[in-house]
Structure 1
Amino acid sequence: MEITIQNQAIKAVIKTKGAELSLLQKEDKNYIWEINSEFWNKTSPILFPIVGALKNGEYFHEGKVYKLSRHGFARDFEFEVIENSENTVVFSLKSNEETLKVYPFHFELQLSYILEGNKLVVKYEIINRSSEKMYYSIGAHPAFNINGNFEDFSLIFDDEKDLETYKLEQDLFSGKTEILKLNGNVLPLQYELFEEDALVFKNFATKSLTLAKNNESVMKVSFPDFPYLGIWTKKDAPFICIEPWLGIADNANASGKIEEKEGIQILENNSKKQIAWSVELF
């Protein structure tokens, strides 16, 4: 099922499966890429309760081994619609018999989509309904349309500092880094940047990115509360993913203990965490 919200400026369509954004439209232009399974079969999946891959696809908690696939399971479940108005919709996913087999915490995850003028705000609320600490990560993975030549597009950063990227090998961090040089505060897009997987930034100072085409701003993605960021595409694919993360993939030398995982978040029993990102259309 799909839910549509709109105001006088923009319209959004979200699927109940995975609470996944599938259309973000201003006038006649859709800013979210339309699926072509030759490249990728998602548009904007939610990453929960982990971001990225685990070493050996598993983690340890209180002496037990649990298996979790890359980016977790939330994207694969039907969400319940718990609030819906003309310009707002709120989805909910609660722990169930199936999730407890791979993630032994009682939780509720709420996703809110809110239209504010030319801006879509995406809010996450993570609720720990367990009687113990809950370990989790969460992240966004929206794919934005590239209309025209990829090389005509660029990303504009908050400042002009060169960037350190952390290298992935077989989905895990290798410990290697690389300096990414900007042209002022601009990164011209080239498919060669992504030959070895995503560009990943840790403890990221930039809190927004503007996507531009031929130096003209297309959209601005803001993520003030997220310390990690991924940027990704595939060779010749007509999209660019700008991914704010609260958590990252495992290191190649990770212990596997979830409480020792780099970037893991801790939520005390019967407490909650709210975090949001947004995209403004020009």
Structure 2
Amino acid sequence: MNTTISNSTLSASIKHSGAELFSLKNNQNKEFIWEGNPDFWGKHSPVLFPIVGTLKNNLYTINGVEYQLPRHGFARDMEFQLIEKNENSAVFSLQSNEETLKKYPFQFELQLSYTLNDTTLDIEYKVINKGETKMPFSIGAHPAVALPEAFENYAFEFEKKEVLKYYLLENDLISNKTKVLETSDNLVPLSYKLFENDALIFKTLESNSLTILENSKPYIKVAFEDFPSLGIWTKDKAPFICIEPWLGYSDTAENSGDLLKKEGILILDSSQIFQAKFSIQIL
């Protein structure tokens, strides 16, 4: 089941499965979200919850009890309920249930709100701790922007001039090895070679936004002020790029497994509500 919202400039379509954005078009019917061809990658913009990235051995502990969670958690594979809808916005909800409690022993509600404002799609996350104990979690986005021209025709421009230090992955875990993303006049030309070791993981950035340029002209801007970390990823020869605002990231090889002590984890008190928002602007 799908829901579509629209205004005079854009339309966005969201699957109820995973509350996943799968289409963002302008009023000339141009598509800006990756089509999800499984030959490359069969998703479009999954929500990452209650973890981001990969746990060491896909395991974690809470109060000495061991649980298993797949990469990026379970929310992306679950059915959300549409709880609010008008012409230019929609709100989806996922509640903890018998299935989630086996993997993640916390009572929660996760809401995703999609709102169109002129040429911008705002995507807001709301996490509610409905239990009586502290709830550790991470949350992140994974939108894949369609790149209809040759990959090398695109470049990044970060909001601020800064040292773009990123961490390398080893066996899907964050290593201690880092590299610096080279820039030219604050631009990073795209090439598949950048991603030969998987995603670029930025634990911290000064920039609150990143603009994709197509043939040196602004194409799409992703703003992520509420998200301190960022992943950037594609697959070899794939005509898309994922710009991934994160609160949290993969384990390191040295991680203890205790989710409450995980690097980058958020802790939500009982009855507390957490909110964060990012946006995709068509330029």
TM range (shorter): over 0.9
Secondary structure of the corresponding residue to residue 235 of structure 1: coil
CA distance, structure 2, for counterparts of residue 80 and residue 71 of structure 1: 20
User: Could you list the runs of 5+ residues in structure 1 that have no partner in the other structure?
Assistant: none
Name the SS for the 2:8 alignment partner: coil
Q: CA deviation at 1:160?
A: 2.5
Give the residue type in structure 1 aligned to 2:208.
Answer: K
TM-score normalised to the size of structure 1?
0.99
SS in 2 for 1:29: coil
What is the match of residue 228 of structure 1? 229
Relative to the length of structure 2, the TM-score reads: 0.99
Other-structure match for 2:8? 8
Specify the SS of the correspondent of 1:59: strand
SS at structure 1 position matched to 2:76: helix
Structure 1 CA distance for aligned equivalents of residues 263 and 175 of structure 2:
13
Question: CA separation in 2, counterparts of 1:163 and 1:223?
Answer: 16
* TM superposition shift of 1:18: 0.1
1:101 pairs with 2:117: no
Q: Which residue of 2 aligns with 1:65?
A: 66
Residue by residue over 1:91-148, the C-alpha shift from the partner in whole angstroms, topping out at 9 and shown as x without a partner, is: 0000000000010000000000000000000000000001000000000000000111
1:192 to partner: Cα distance: 0.2
Equivalent-residue separation in structure 2 for 1:187 and 1:28 (angstroms) = 29
The number of residues matched between the two structures is 282
5+ unaligned residues in a row in structure 2: which ranges? none
1:229-267 residue CA offsets vs partner (Å, 9 max, x unmatched): 000000000000000000110011100001110100000
Q: Deviations over 1:149-205 (max 9, x none)?
A: 000000111123231110101100111111111112110000000000100101211
CA RMSD of aligned residues (A): 0.6
**In structure 2, how many angstroms separate the alpha carbons of the residues matched to 1:7 and 1:173?**
41
Q: 2:118 is matched by which residue type in structure 1? A: G
Aligned runs of 1:130-141 on 2, under 5 Å?
130-141=131-142
Deviations 1:70-107 (A, max 9, x none): 00000011100000100010000000000000100000
- Three-state SS of the structure 1 residue aligned to 2:99 is helix
Instruction: Determine whether 1:262 maps to 2:266.
Output: no
Structure 2 residue 25 is the aligned partner of structure 1 residue 25: yes
Q: What is the rounded CA distance, in whole Å, between the counterparts of 2:102 and 2:187 in structure 1?
A: 45
8 Å CA contact 2:162–2:206 kept in 1: the answer is no
**Partner Cα distance (1:197, 1:130) in 2:** 37
Runs ≥4 residues deviating over 4 A: none
Q: Tell me the equivalent position of 2:208.
A: 207
Instruction: Check whether the contact 1:162–1:182 (CA below 8 A) recurs between aligned residues.
Output: no
1:1-282 correspondence runs (5 A): 1-26=1-26, 27-282=28-283
SS at match of 2:175: strand
Question: SS in structure 2 opposite 1:30?
Answer: coil
